[in-house]
Amino acid sequence: MDLTDGQAEILGTVRRLPNATVRDIWNDILKRKKLTYTTVGTTLDRLYRKGLLIRTRKIGPGGQTYIYSAGCNIDIQTDIIQSVLRRLITVFGLSIVPIIYESLSELADEERER
């Protein structure tokens, strides 16, 4: 499963902001990048339909809103990681493998175990 750069950024934001509304996510992204509210909302809906997010509906005085949280199961997560690694190897060749390994070895022990 391939993700666009925008989808990856929005997915990362949801992982940092659990149980966030479209507005919460949009406000956070605006600190780094200019995106419209509707673009963020549409992207969140697409990520939800791909099975990468959990979405719950909340009804309040202003009407209906969705709350998003990370919902990526291990199979989908593995698929995304393998896709990214394949793209890196396609672009840079096998010379990228030692760089990836070195980056992983620099992680703290508890992070590496996770």
State the Cα–Cα distance between residues 8 and 13, nearest whole angstrom: 9
* Residue 71, pLDDT score: 77
Mean pLDDT of the region 94-111: 79
Residue 22: pLDDT band by 50, 70, 90 thresholds? very high
* Residue 114, pLDDT score: 59
H or E element that contains 91: helix 74-92
Decide if 89 contacts 39 (C-beta within 8 A).
no
Domain boundaries, the chain: 5-70, 74-113
What share of the chain in percent tops pLDDT 90? 33
pTM: 0.68
CATH number of 5-70: 1.10.10.10
